[in-house]
C-alpha cells in the first residue's frame, strides 16, 4: 500500500517555496535550483531538530568464524541501542570501547577467538564517491556464528526527484512544509515572518506525536508502561500546550 497522499512530495514543497519566494510555481534554471536547495536545507534542519523515532532502525549482524571486522549499513549514523545477544542464550552482551583498545588487545593476545565480549565502531577508509562509512570490530575474534541485534539512527538522503517523499510520513508533513517556508523567510526576507513563528508550534506538536511512538508495554508479560506526562520544550513552545 502506498503512503498517504497527505505527505507532501518534493515537487509540492519546492513549488510552495518558489511561490512564497516570489518566483512563481513553475520555476526554471537557477530559480528552480534555489527552491530545491531551500527545501533540502529545511529538511536537514527538521531531521536534526529531534531524536525522531522514524529515524531508528533495528538490524541483526551475523558474525562469521575467524572474521573480526564487519561493515555497518551504509545509512548508519550512530547507535541507539548497542549489540545484544539473544536473551535465551544467557550471555553477557558485548560492551563498547574504542578501536585502539580492541587493536591493542588483539596485538597483545594474538588472534584469540571466542564469543565477542567487546566492540568498537570506526570509520572505513574514506572515498569521495562513498563519503563516510562505518564498520565494527570485535574482540574476541568470533569463533562461530553469533547473531547480534542492534538499533541505529539512519542517515537520510536529500530529496532529488519530484515524487520523492520525505521520511516521517503525513503526521509531520505540515511541520516540514512550515520549515521550508520559514527557510525562505530566513534567507530571502532576512527577518522573521509568519512561518518562522508557526514552525515552532508545528515542531512542538510533531515532537509530542513522535514521543507517543514509544513502547506501551514492557517485558514478556506485557506489563503496562506507566508514562509520566510528556513535557518538552522546543524554542520556548511547550509540548503540553498540544493535547492529542
Q: How far apart are the C-alpha atoms of 154 and 133, rounded to whole Å?
A: 12
Query: Are 101 and 122 part of one and the same domain?
Result: yes
**Domain for residue 2, yes or no?**
no
Q: What is the pLDDT of residue 130?
A: 80
Query: Are 110 and 135 part of one and the same domain?
Result: yes
**Domain for residue 203, yes or no?**
yes
Q: What is the pLDDT of residue 144?
A: 96
**Domain for residue 163, yes or no?**
no
Residue 225 has pLDDT above 50, yes or no: no
**Domain for residue 132, yes or no?**
yes
> How does residue 164 score in pLDDT terms, banded at 50, 70 and 90?
very high
**Domain for residue 72, yes or no?**
yes
The domain boundary, picked from 88, 120, 154, lies at 154
Residue 135 has pLDDT above 60, yes or no: yes
Residue 237 has pLDDT above 60, yes or no: no
- How many domains is the chain built from? 2
> How does residue 183 score in pLDDT terms, banded at 50, 70 and 90?
very high
Query: Are 86 and 102 part of one and the same domain?
Result: yes
pTM, to two decimals: 0.80
The domain boundary, picked from 154, 188, 220, lies at 154
What percentage of the chain exceeds 90 in pLDDT?
Answer: 70
Query: Are 207 and 122 part of one and the same domain?
Result: no
Query: Are 102 and 35 part of one and the same domain?
Result: no
Query: Are 45 and 80 part of one and the same domain?
Result: no
Query: Are 60 and 144 part of one and the same domain?
Result: yes
Would you state the cell numbers that stand for residue 143, as one nine-digit string? 569463533
Please give, one letter per residue, the 3-state secondary structure of 181-209. Answer: HHHHHHHHHCCCCHHHHHHHHHHHHHHHH
- What value does the mean pLDDT take over residues 84-94? 93
**Domain for residue 3, yes or no?**
no
Site of grid cell 574504542: 98
Query: Are 173 and 227 part of one and the same domain?
Result: yes
Query: Are 101 and 148 part of one and the same domain?
Result: yes
Arithmetic mean of pLDDT over the chain: 87
Residue 33 has pLDDT above 50, yes or no: yes
Q: How far apart are the C-alpha atoms of 137 and 129, rounded to whole Å?
A: 24
Query: Are 150 and 211 part of one and the same domain?
Result: no
- What value does the mean pLDDT take over residues 71-99? 95
Q: What is the pLDDT of residue 236?
A: 55
Query: Are 60 and 123 part of one and the same domain?
Result: yes
**Mind listing the pLDDT tens digit for each residue in 97-126?**
999 999 999 887 667 899 999 999 999 988
3-state DSSP assignment of residue 154 = strand
Q: What is the pLDDT of residue 191?
A: 58
**Domain for residue 243, yes or no?**
no
Residue 63 has pLDDT above 60, yes or no: yes
Comparing 78 with 3, the larger pLDDT belongs to 78
- What value does the mean pLDDT take over residues 14-29? 95
- What value does the mean pLDDT take over residues 4-20? 94
Q: What is the pLDDT of residue 123?
A: 94
Residue 118: give the domain boundaries: 55-154
**Domain for residue 162, yes or no?**
no
> How does residue 220 score in pLDDT terms, banded at 50, 70 and 90?
very low
Query: β-strand 134-139 against 118-123: which pairing, if any?
Result: antiparallel
Query: Are 186 and 227 part of one and the same domain?
Result: yes
The domain boundary, picked from 96, 126, 154, lies at 154
198: burial class by Cβ within 10 Å (0-12, 13-18, 19+)?
middle
- What value does the mean pLDDT take over residues 205-225? 67
Amino acid at each position: 500500500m502506498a503512503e498517504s497522499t497527505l505527505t507532501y512530495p518534493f515537487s509540492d514543497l519546492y513549488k510552495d517555496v518558489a511561490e512564497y519566494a516570489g518566483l512563481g510555481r513553475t520555476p526554471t534554471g537557477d530559480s528552480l535550483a534555489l527552491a530545491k536547495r531551500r527545501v533540502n536545507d529545511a529538511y536537514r534542519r527538521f531531521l536534526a531538530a529531534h531524536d525522531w523515532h522514524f529515524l531508528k532502525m533495528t538490524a541483526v549482524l551475523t558474525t562469521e568464524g575467524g572474521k573480526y571486522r564487519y561493515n555497518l549499513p551504509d545509512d548508519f549514523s550512530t547507535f541507539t541501542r548497542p549489540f545484544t545477544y539473544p536473551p535465551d542464550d544467557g550471555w553477557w552482551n558485548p560492551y563498547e570501547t574504542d578501536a585502539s583498545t580492541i587493536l591493542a588487545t588483539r596485538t597483545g593476545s594474538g588472534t584469540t577467538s571466542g564469543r565477542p565480549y567487546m566492540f568498537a565502531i570506526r570509520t572505513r577508509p574514506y572515498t569521495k564517491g562513498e563519503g563516510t562509512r562505518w564498520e565494527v570490530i570485535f574482540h574476541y575474534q568470533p569463533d562461530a556464528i553469533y547473531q547480534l541485534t542492534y538499533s541505529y539512527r539512519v542517515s537520510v538522503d536529500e530529496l532529488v526527484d519530484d515524487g520523492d517523499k520525505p521520511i516521517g510520513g503525513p503526521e509531520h508533513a505540515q511541520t516540514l512544509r512550515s520549515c521550508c517556508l520559514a527557510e525562505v523567510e530566513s534567507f530571502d526576507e532576512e527577518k522573521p515572518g509568519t512561518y518562522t513563528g508557526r514552525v515552532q508550534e508545528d515542531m512542538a506538536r510533531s515532537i509530542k506525536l513522535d514521543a507517543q511512538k514509544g513502547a506501551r508495554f514492557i517485558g514478556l508479560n506485557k506489563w503496562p508502561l506507566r508514562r509520566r506526562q510528556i513535557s518538552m520544550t522546543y524554542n520556548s513552545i511547550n509540548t503540553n500546550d498540544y493535547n492529542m
